[in-house]
Chain A
Amino acid sequence: MIEKDNRPVNLNLLTISLPIIGLSSILHRISGVAVFFSFPLIVWVFSISLKSENSFLMLSNLLQNSIAFKAITFLILVGFGYHLLAGIRKLISDAFGVGETLESGRVLSWLVFGATFLMAVLFLFYLF
C-alpha cells in the first residue's frame, strides 16, 4: 500500500492454521533455500575430495567417524530429497492437473512426506 496505514493487521502466523498441503508447499520453499545455501559447502567439500588421494581419504574417514559430519550430510540429503520429491509432485500437478482437489492434494502431500521419511530412514541406515 502506498499511503501510510497505521491500522493493525491480523497476521500472527502462529494463530493461523496451515493445512497439510500448505505445510508441504512452504517446506518445499524452505528446503529449497536451505539446499541453495548449502551448495557452496558441497562444492567446497567436493573440491577438497578431488585435491589428492589423502584429502579424499580424510573426508571418507570423516564421513565414517564424525557424528557432526554425518549429521550435516544427513540434513543436506534429506533437505535435497524433500525438495526434489515436492518439486516432482508440483511438476506432475502442473502437467496433468492432478492434486488440485483438496483430497488428491492431501494424498500427494502425504505421499511426498512418506517418501521423504523412507528416504531419511535409508540415509540414516547408510550413514550411521
Chain B
Amino acid sequence: MSAAAIPVEQIKTITMSIYRYDPTVDEKPYMQDLVVEIPTDKDIMVLDALHLAKQQEPSLSYRRSCREGVCGSDGMNINGKNGLACVTPLSEVLKRNKITLRPMPGLPVVRDLIVDMKQFFDQLEKVKPYLITKSDSPDIERKQTPEDREELDGLYECILCGCCSTSCPSFWWNPDKFLGPAALLQSWRFIADTRDEATEERLDDLEDAFSLYRCHGIMNCVSVCPKGLNPTEAISNIRNKLLTREKN
C-alpha cells in the first residue's frame, strides 16, 4: 500500500511512537515518533500502518508473515496491551491520533519490535506438546468421540504468538521456572486429550512450586489473547486434576 497513490482528501496524519533499538548502533533503546499518512476511506490494521511507517524509515524492523492472525508473528505491545498488529484495527487503538508500539514485554529485544522467543519456546518444549501413546497403534487411527473432541475446543486454536506469556507478571519474574500461560494451555490441551496416554507423567512434571502454581490469576493472558482463548481456565483445570488425582 502506498500513501502517495491516495487522493489528498482521503489522507490523515497520525503519530506512531515506536520503540527503536539496533544493537549494532544503539547503546540503549529509544522511542521514535514517526508522522505517518494513512488513508481515511478504510480502516487499516496496525500492521498496515507499520508498513507505511517503514516506507519512511526503512530500518524499522518487525516480524510479520500471514498478516491475518494465523501465523502469530507480529505480536507486539500496542498502547500498553499485547496484541497482533495484523488483526488490530488502527481505529480501535488510536488515541488523539497517536499510537505507541513497543516489543512484547519481558523477552530480550533483538531489534526494534522483534524479541527473542527462545525462552517462550523452551517452556513450550517442556510440556511435550504432542500426543504420547503407549498402547499399540490401531490399524487405522486413534479415534475420539465428537464429545471427546469437543474438549479440545478453545485449546487447539493457540497460534503461539506469545502475547499471553509476555503479558504475565509471573512469567516476567520467572521466565525459566514458571511455564507461562501459552505452554500451560498446551499442557492442558494434551492432558484433556482422550487419546493421550501420558496424563500421569504430564501431571508429575507440573507438581512443583513454580511450573504451574506461580499463576496467581492475574488474567492478563485472557485479556490479551488475540484468539479469545482462556489460559487461566486451562491452568485451573490442571490444578483441579492435580488436586483430585489418586496418588500412586
**Chain A residues near B (Cβ < 8 Å):** 1, 5, 7-11, 15-19, 21-22, 25-26, 29, 90, 93-94, 97, 100-102, 105
Contacts and interface: CB of A to CB of B under 8 A. Distances in A.
Nearest to B216: A25
B227 interface: no
B82 to A, nearest CB: 9
Given A16-B105, A90-B217, A8 B29 contact: yes
A91 to B, nearest CB: 11
Interface of B: 19, 21, 23, 28-29, 77, 79-81, 100, 102-110, 115-116, 119, 167, 169, 172, 175-176, 216-220, 222-223, 230, 232-233, 236, 239-240
Given A11-B172, A22-B169, 7 more contacts: A7-B23, A7-B109, A9-B106, A16-B80, A90-B217, A93-B236, A97-B233
B28 A11 contact: no
Contacts of B223: 19, 21-22, 102
Nearest to A101: B230
A10 B172 contact: no
A9, A18, A94 — most chain B CB neighbours (10 Å): A9
A1 B175 CA distance: 8
A93 B220 CA distance: 16
A105 B106 contact: no
Nearest to B80: A17
Nearest to B237: A97
Contacts of A5: 108
B102 A101 contact: no
Given A15-B80, A17-B79, A102-B223, A25 B119 contact: no
A100 B230 contact: yes
11 contacts: A7-B23, A8-B28, A9-B107, A15-B102, A18-B220, A21-B217, A21-B219, A21-B223, A22-B169, A90-B217, A94-B239
B104 A10 contact: yes
B108 A100 contact: no
A22 B218 contact: yes
Contacts of B119: 1
